[in-house]
Amino acid sequence: MEINKDIKQVLLTKEQIEERVREMGKEITAAYEGKELVVIILLTGAAWFAADLIRAINLPLRTDFMVASSYGNSTDSSGNVRVYLDIREDIAGKDVLLVDDIIDRGITFAAISNMLKEHRPLSLKTVALCDKCERRVNGLDADYVGFKVPDEFVVGYGLDFAGNYRNLPYIGILKPVVYARK
Ligand code: IMP
Ligand code: MG
């Protein structure tokens, strides 16, 4: 089975992603000069992006992971996010970056940011590789965004549909026929 055949259009090539991730790393390095970071990576989708991003950040940093997902119906903007795995790092008084693969309705970042703020970090900023800004329900913006993407379902470079396509080296728009057959 060839996975590329399910892609309607390549949105971001491997090279475009590599270049932008390098730039983001430089930008973050400059912004936090002289500081130490704790980078919190939202599993599963952000693992691929975050692995490349942290290697482009030239600062002392520690990493930790969270597993969370929003539940309830998809039009519900109330921010019901369930945490399946929480951080183990002590982030009190630390400069924290929260990393996800994509910001869509904004529910995940809003809810997780509120949870992390209860630990009293010195600062908390959000990083998303992709931003589907047309879909936002809460006006929230990520502090660092790799690419603005259209309101289409995208997969690859960690982004999945029903757990698949994370291994594509590029980001592409999934053919609608793929959802239809699920
Ligand atoms: P939000 O809470 O609505 O901002 O949704 C963010 C989460 O939805 C991300 O962590 C992704 O897991 C998922 N998501 C949203 N749009 C897409 C997409 O186009 N492809 C893959 N995952 C997506
Ligand atoms: Mg996710």
Of the listed 104, 131, 143, 160, which one is catalytic?
Answer: 104
Ligand 1 pocket test, pick from 40, 84, 104 with the greatest ligand atom count within 8 Å of Cβ, gives: 104
Ligand 1 pocket test, pick from 48, 80, 82, 159 with the greatest ligand atom count within 8 Å of Cβ, gives: 159
**93 CA to middle of ligand 2, Å?**
26
Query: What is the residue-averaged pLDDT of the chain?
Result: 94
What confidence tier does 77 reach under pLDDT thresholds 50, 70, 90?
A: low
Q: Which is higher by pLDDT, 2 or 144?
A: 144
Ligand 1 atom closest to Cα of 161? 21
pLDDT digits (tens, 9 = 90+) for 32-60: 999 999 999 999 999 999 999 999 999 99
Phi, psi of 103 (to 5 degrees): -105, 125
CA distance 104 to 140: 10
What pairs with residue 98 in β-bridges? 40, 126
Task: Look up 100 and say whether it is catalytic.
Answer: no
Q: Which residue has the CA at smallest separation from atom 11 of ligand 1?
A: 102
> 24-29: which pairs have CB atoms within 8 A and are 24 or more residues apart?
24/53, 24/56, 24/127, 24/144, 24/146, 25/53, 25/54, 25/55, 25/56, 25/57, 25/58, 26/56, 27/144, 28/53, 28/57, 28/59, 28/97, 28/127, 28/144, 29/56, 29/57, 29/58, 29/59
**137 CA to middle of ligand 1, Å?**
13
pLDDT digits (tens, 9 = 90+) for 100-141: 999 999 999 999 999 999 999 999 999 999 999 999 999 999
**29 CA to middle of ligand 2, Å?**
25
What confidence tier does 182 reach under pLDDT thresholds 50, 70, 90?
A: low
Asked if the model's pLDDT at residue 78 lies above 80, the reply is: no
